[in-house]
Amino acid sequence: IMEVGDPDEADQRKIAATMDESDSVTSMLDRMSSALSGLTHGASLVLAPKKSSAIKHIEFVSLATDRALVVLVFANGEVENRVFRPPIGQTPSQMREAVNFLNAIGQGKTLQELQSTIGLEIKKHRSELDVLTTNLVEAGIAVMQDAGGDNERLIVRGRSNLLEKAGTAGDLERVRVLFDDLERKRDIAEFLQLTDEGDGVRIFIGSENKLFSLSGSSLVISPYMNADRKVIGAIGVIGPTRLNYGRIVPIVNYTAQMIGRVLSDRG
């Protein structure tokens, strides 16, 4: 863990320009990831926070006989939409009954809390729910799990920056394998947990971890925290081992602090 200073003022202005506090968290992090990639000429990686805000409202919207939309409205104003396949033969009244049941047990809970208790709640109320309504509830919950899962949390931008820096055909292939692994989320959740160990920037150079050893790449990464100083995500830059650490480390550190500040202000 390193103690670092601030980036220069021009870099600070470019980072601050991506902070639209009226945006959803995902949109803000996506834009920030792209900006970080552009600033550092590397690839950027962001682990978005898990959904920790309480559920305010759940709605099902029928799109077709075999497609429906689940709308999740959170207490912090964020909205998530996911398409799912409802059970064959469901009726509008069963859809209303399913969503009323989910709202009755889900309002005020986080998405994770609802997912962890839904099985028990279905068993408890089995006599009040017919089979299709139960199947609707389970289908809606399954797609909500996708909305809160690790696959949704990882944002990677700027792969072309690393591909352009690859010197040989072998280097190019190794960088491609790295990005394939990142896209499949292979090892990444475990790897990013390393940032939980402290408050500050960490540098992982090629041979120090299996994810980056083959590609000859390094990662500069910093956790960001909520108002309670709890690590809720991470942001980093992937580049060659000859990265300009003196410039990139302060940029990553400053960006992580800015994200933490914005998310803390949102509560």
Q: Average pLDDT, stretch 109-137?
A: 88
| pLDDT score of 7 more than 60 | yes
Q: Which strands, in side-by-side order, build the sheet including 217-225?
A: 154-157, 43-47, 231-240, 217-225, 202-204
User: Residue 173 has what pLDDT?
Assistant: 73
- Judge whether 2 lies within some domain: no
One domain, residues 71 and 133: yes
Domain end, chosen from 122, 148, 174, is at 148
Tokens of 170: 């072998």
Q: What is the pTM (predicted TM-score) of this model?
A: 0.66
| pLDDT score of 14 more than 80 | yes
HSE, CB side, 13 Å, CA atoms: give it for residue 169.
0
One domain, residues 140 and 160: no
One domain, residues 159 and 253: yes
Q: Average pLDDT, stretch 136-146?
A: 81
One domain, residues 78 and 133: yes
Spell 131-161 as b/e; 16+ CB within 10 A means b. ebbbbbbebbbebbbeebeeebbbbbbbbeb
Domain end, chosen from 100, 116, 148, is at 148
pLDDT band at 195 (very low <50, low <70, confident <90, very high): low
One domain, residues 188 and 233: yes
User: Residue 256 has what pLDDT?
Assistant: 92
101 vs 26: which has the higher pLDDT: 101
User: Residue 241 has what pLDDT?
Assistant: 76
Which amino acid is residue 81, in one-letter code? N
One domain, residues 128 and 25: no
Residues 194/203, Cβ–Cβ less than 8 Å: no
Helix, strand and coil in the chain, % to nearest 5: 50, 20, 25
One domain, residues 164 and 241: yes
User: Residue 251 has what pLDDT?
Assistant: 95
One domain, residues 161 and 226: yes
Q: In this structure, what CATH number is given to the domain that contains residue 75?
A: 3.30.390.10
- Domain count for the chain, please give it: 2
Q: Average pLDDT, stretch 162-178?
A: 68
For residue 176, give its domain range: 9-50+153-266
- The pLDDT tens digits of the residues spanning 100-117 come to 999 999 999 988 888 888
User: Residue 210 has what pLDDT?
Assistant: 60
Q: In whole numbers, what is the pLDDT of the chain averaged over residues?
A: 80
Domain end, chosen from 148, 174, 204, is at 148
Q: Can you spell out the DSSP letters for 225-250?
A: E-TTS-EEEEEEEEEETT--HHHHHH
Give the CA radius of gyration of the chain.
21
| pLDDT score of 188 more than 60 | no
- Judge whether 3 lies within some domain: no
Q: In this structure, what CATH number is given to the domain that contains residue 43?
A: 3.30.450.40
- The pLDDT tens digits of the residues spanning 201-231 come to 888 776 555 666 555 678 888 888 888 888 8
